[in-house]
């Protein structure tokens, strides 16, 4: 039975970041990049919600005939929102667990 090493299963960008040495002042850079990533993803979530709302309004006005397109947009926005809520819940859980740690 052949077992592949984990490094072969990881996508190339993850392998590169895993092997990279930490840079000086890395905490601020990581916090800034995380903040930028979070802002970007929340912006994408907002765009999905707005597109779903716009399609719903167009459907109600009779401009869009394909109800499937509207339902797909609504479901995509709904799933994205649920994912964001679960990520938020996990982040809050992690923060609470860290705050309970004794130093």
Task: Kindly report, residue by residue over 78-94, the tens digit of the pLDDT.
Answer: 999 999 999 999 999 99
For residue 54, the enclosing domain spans 29-100
Q: Is residue 2 part of a domain?
A: no
Residue 77 has pLDDT above 60, yes or no: yes
Residue 63 has pLDDT above 60, yes or no: yes
Q: Would you state the structure tokens that stand for residue 9, as one six-digit string?
A: 């299963």
- Who contacts 45 (Cβ-Cβ below 8 Å, separation ≥6)? 77, 80, 81, 84
Q: Is residue 34 part of a domain?
A: yes
- Tell me what pLDDT residue 103 has: 79
- Tell me what pLDDT residue 91 has: 93
User: Can you tell me the distance from the alpha carbon of 26 to that of 16, in angstroms, rounded to the nearest whole number?
Assistant: 16
Q: Is residue 94 part of a domain?
A: yes
pLDDT, tens digit, 9 for 90 and up, residues 6-54: 555 555 555 555 555 555 567 888 878 888 998 999 999 999 999 999 9
């Amino acid at each position: 039975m052949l077992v592949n090493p984990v490094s072969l299963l990881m996508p190339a960008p993850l392998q590169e970041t895993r092997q990279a040495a930490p840079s000086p002042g890395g905490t601020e850079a990581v916090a800034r990049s995380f903040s930028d990533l979070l802002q970007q993803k929340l912006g994408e979530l907002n765009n999905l919600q707005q597109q779903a709302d716009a399609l719903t309004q167009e459907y109600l006005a009779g401009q869009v005939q394909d109800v499937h397109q509207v339902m797909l947009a609504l479901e995509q926005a709904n799933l994205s929102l649920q994912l964001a809520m679960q990520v938020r819940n996990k982040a809050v859980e992690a923060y609470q667990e860290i705050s309970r740690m004794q130093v």
